[in-house]
Amino acid sequence: MSNDTTSAMLAKLEPVAEAALLHEALGKRGALNHDVRPAYPGAKLLGRALTIKGCPGDNLMLHLAISVAQPGDILVATVDGFLEAGIWGDIATVAAQMRGIKGLLTDGSVRDIEGIAKTGFPIFSRGLCIKGTTKRQKGELNKPITLAGAVVNPGDYVVGDVDGVVIIPAAEVEAAIAKAYEIRKREEGIIAQLRQGHLTLDLLGMRPVLKEHGLDK
């Protein structure tokens, strides 16, 4: 997909770029495990995945990914969940920003977060660790990976916010956007009725379940 096409799709996705909303729009699919969190308050991810399979305690493949990334890419890196090394820091951040990279998502740990937060470069990770890495181990780029409970393919869309991260398959992004608008409209209607005094038990159809459990008395 060309950069212009990618930019156009991201512009369409941005108005509904809420992780929880898009997870619902995908039929409750695509969510990463809960322990992948923003490395600093306010960080958000929106872009296409450049996938990386690295080795625990080594960040060679991340530096290679920076060299081949396209503007708008998000680096999505698995290191098999290894947390005892900071695979990303301030030097990698500046290098990535100069390439137009829009963020990092990893199941590993990162460091230098106070300085990185000042740059606005978004990072989502499972941990923080001050320990350094080697730069010697071969991995893979742009191959399907499994990261924190989700399969990520090259070119999939990544949305992350304070609630978590969702991976949207590239072939489903148009449908997910349309469904997200539909869900948002429905939820706005429910909220309007709640403000009028209606109960969630009725609006969300829970009365039959209560009756089933003998809780409707």
Domain-located, residue 63: yes
Domain count, the chain: 2
User: Are 167 and 25 spatial neighbours (Cβ–Cβ below 8 Å)?
Assistant: no
Q: What is the pLDDT of residue 1?
A: 58
* Chain mean position to CA 185: 23
Instruction: Answer yes or no: do 105 and 200 share one domain.
Output: no
Segments forming the whole domain that contains residue 194: 177-212
Q: How confident is the model at residue 6 (pLDDT cuts 50, 70, 90)?
A: confident
Exposure string (b/e) for 44-60, b if CB count within 10 Å is 16 or more? bbbbbbbbbbbbbbbbb
Is the domain of 185 the same as that of 206?
yes
pLDDT of res. 13: 96
The answer to whether residues 128 and 32 belong to one domain is: yes
Q: Are residues 28 and 68 in the same domain?
A: yes
User: Which amino acid would we find at residue 177?
Assistant: I
The total number of residues written for the chain in this structure? 217
Q: Residue 142 is part of a domain; what is its CATH number?
A: 3.50.30.40
Does the pLDDT of residue 3 top 80, yes or no? no
Are 137 and 191 within one domain?
no
Query: pLDDT at position 205, please?
Result: 94
Predicted confidence (pLDDT) at residue 144 exceeds the cutoff of 80? yes
pLDDT at 193: 96
Asked, for residue 33, whether it belongs to a domain, the answer is yes
